Chain A
């Protein structure tokens, strides 16, 4: 046992000193921080201000588009404001407030509200449904009273809210281009700017060109004249044209289209004698709707963000489990092959029994794996704690899920069992390979088998107690991943205990068999044995020598 501990200590020391180990250790929290921060950053910084040119030859829609763009900016401001409020919220003050449904409030009657739930998203949705709110928020001058209200629930030292910048900037046509040119010629004149040339008076190219021809207001598609739409030669050359070299960012295109459609519809209402206010009121009428989860306690059945996270958090853990197990067993394989190829193994064998060596290696590398896991879990919790506001955005919810779901102990359990099982296989293989190259051939095929749980993990998360999940759970080499996958969905006790026992027994059998192979393999040179030879060898240990 003393020797096993010495071997373990050396293995641990050697692997814990490698660069890869530290990269693994440090990369994880960095990725976490990035995954929290990056979307925000991209939203705020990475996307440049986009220039667009709007040529309204009809003279009818300019105001409507401007209003639409204002609404878009209002929505973004609303979301940013709520996020700001949430980040600096004072939990006690928040708890004292009651929740209000803004969708049903006129803009000037926004009284008490509550900073709980995913308010940023809620605010965005509500502002979308209440155009007045969006319009009000789009003007920085109007922000002060909102911020003052929100401040009632924020910590006293919260910084002032900095409204987001305008993402889209309308610019004038370059000098010398006549606004009354035909669409095709306008497009031709602006093409260089659309493909990157700097627009006069700005420091960047043109993101989009929107052309509303003189008769834009008359080119309408209606359900009643479907034939007319099909006759329209396919590309709508006569209608509104949106030119842009960027095919992925559809925000501006959609917003302008929406704004034009609303304006056209508003006119239609008027023409047909319908009061558009009535229509708007009707449109804002909603049925009360909520999703419920039958597995939860009475009174708490509403599906919340936490529930969604609870469902998907195991997927993250499956992934971590995969990375941890695969990393560690490959270390084990490489070390064994190294010792074998440079014959250190002979010195080891003359100093300790193969059993001690194997146990030492298993323990040492398990220690490396557990250190890695501990570091990941601690940094995960650390990062979540840092980002989690007192209220319920996703880091806080995820933290709560991790604390209450019992995923962590299961994670450790499945890591240990999975590790022992795969370590058995990889150690045995390592002891039979003479060179790293031979070992890599094996890893190549083994990884295909090991990847299966990664392919299935999304399906299993969606149907955690379905046939696929159940079948995979009972295949011992997939048990750790599959059961981890299902952990949050209260799998039947029979599955949980049964697969656990089957897996533990398999792990022990694997270790027993690989112990025998290891004992013979480590001193063997030349061609790796054939599979049948191995089976025979497990039964009669002297065969390989």
Chain B
């Protein structure tokens, strides 16, 4: 198996529960060593896709290969998994539960225990090493569970909603966990609906909504998908609308304030060309701002109304 071989390949994967289609015809290649974000509204099919990758759930159609094997179960010792709903054995101690899951993944008892202690110390849980899980707060429990899923130092880790339920400080810790894994060359897939995490951390993203893949690729690629925006100060709607390449004008300022506008540009329109044109026509602008869309904008734009519908299903 070469390094060039992808960590995960999904080929036309569909999952149906009776009449309900949870995932439809998804193709995906997750390169080795990449941090891959699975984005999508609630109920889009992220968790089902993750379960299919892990071979916990069998796809109705399509093929999945993980680390070169046709089932994740065959290479399960090289995979780490944090499920969406978090839970721990209430009566077990933090270190013991981490060591237990590491041993299930093939570590010997001694190494597993050493790793558990080291991880708890590294990520700020040293004082809770011997605490029973039922005494941990939700955030701490979640951190313990994350550590339990990576203690065996897997090549490939899947984290389903690792950030949900964590306070900002712990989200930072969680991000550092993922970055540490990236530094080791671990392939990471995580799902989230917090775009800022994805934007900061992901090499590539998969966007699904209503069971269908909408996009996969790098974040710059994703941002190119939506029309670019320019924010200007001064002038009137009528003037701005006449400019070439401008397909929409939205007011950013309230009545009585100095006017500010958000211009939506047509696909392929060059904002520099727009600025030159204003110059040439002698249109005075108070400000001109090239506005880079965030992943959040991409998400809302691509998922659109579908997101709202899906989230209330």
Chain A: residues with CB nearer than 8 A to chain B? 3, 6-7, 10, 14, 17-18, 338, 341-344, 346-353, 523, 542, 545
Contact = CB atoms under 8 A, between A and B. Distances in A.
B17 interface: yes
A350 B89 contact: no
Nearest to B92: A14
B81 interface: yes
Given A351-B76, A545-B17, A346 B101 contact: no
Given A350-B72, A351-B105, A353-B73, A343 B57 contact: no
B9 to A, nearest CB: 19
Given A346-B56, A350-B54, A545-B58, A6 B89 contact: no
B175 to A, nearest CB: 22
B52 to A, nearest CB: 11
Given A349-B56, A542-B58, A545-B58, A3 B85 contact: no
B105 A343 contact: no
Interface string B1-27: 000000000000000010000000000
A486 to B, nearest CB: 40
Contact of B57 (A3, A14, A351, A523): A523
Contacts of B73: 353
B103 A347 contact: no
B85 A342 contact: yes
A413 B114 CA distance: 41
Nearest to B85: A343
B295 to A, nearest CB: 28
A542 B73 CA distance: 17
Interface bracket on B: 20 to 34
B58 A351 contact: no
Given A338-B90, A347-B81, 11 more contacts: A6-B103, A343-B83, A343-B84, A343-B87, A346-B56, A347-B82, A347-B83, A347-B148, A350-B56, A350-B76, A523-B57
Interface of B: 17, 51, 54, 56-58, 72-73, 76, 79, 81-92, 100-101, 103-105, 145, 148-149
A343 B51 CA distance: 13
6 smallest A-B Cβ distances: which pairs? A342-B87, A351-B104, A346-B83, A343-B85, A350-B81, A343-B83
B149 A347 contact: yes
A348 B87 CA distance: 12
Contacts of B104: 3, 6-7, 348, 351-352
Contacts of A343: 83-87
B88 A344 contact: yes
A349 B82 CA distance: 12
Contacts, number: 62
Contacts of B91: 14, 17-18
Contacts of A342: 85-88
A232 B87 CA distance: 80
Contacts of B86: 342-343
B191 to A, nearest CB: 14
Most buried by B among A338, A346, A352: A346
A342 B138 CA distance: 13
Q: Looking at A18, A341, A344, A350, which has the most chain B CB atoms within 10 Å of its CB?
A: A350
A106 B231 CA distance: 127
5 contacts: A6-B103, A7-B104, A338-B89, A350-B76, A350-B79
A75 B58 CA distance: 80
Contacts of A338: 89-90
A432 B57 CA distance: 16
Contacts of B90: 338
Contacts of B58: 542, 545
A343 B148 CA distance: 14
Contacts of A17: 91
B84 A6 contact: no
A127 to B, nearest CB: 59
Contacts of A341: 87
Contacts of A10: 89, 92, 100
A10 B105 CA distance: 15
Contacts of B84: 343
Question: For A7, A17, A347, which residue has the most chain B Cβ atoms within 10 angstroms?
Answer: A347
A14 B104 CA distance: 16
Nearest to B15: A545
Given A342-B85, A342-B88, A523 B103 contact: no
A6 B100 contact: yes
Contacts of A352: 76, 104
A540 B87 CA distance: 31
B107 to A, nearest CB: 11
Contacts of B103: 6
Contacts of A349: 56
Nearest to A340: B87
A230 to B, nearest CB: 73
A7 B104 CA distance: 8
A41 to B, nearest CB: 39
A170 B103 CA distance: 77
Contacts of B82: 347
Contacts of A344: 87-89
B101 A351 contact: yes
Nearest to B54: A350
Nearest to B160: A346
A346 B88 contact: no
A435 to B, nearest CB: 13
A248 to B, nearest CB: 47
Contacts of B101: 347, 351
B58, B84, B104, most chain A CB atoms within 10 A: B104
B57 A545 contact: yes
A44 to B, nearest CB: 45
Nearest to A349: B56
Contacts of B105: 351
A358 to B, nearest CB: 14
Nearest to B86: A343
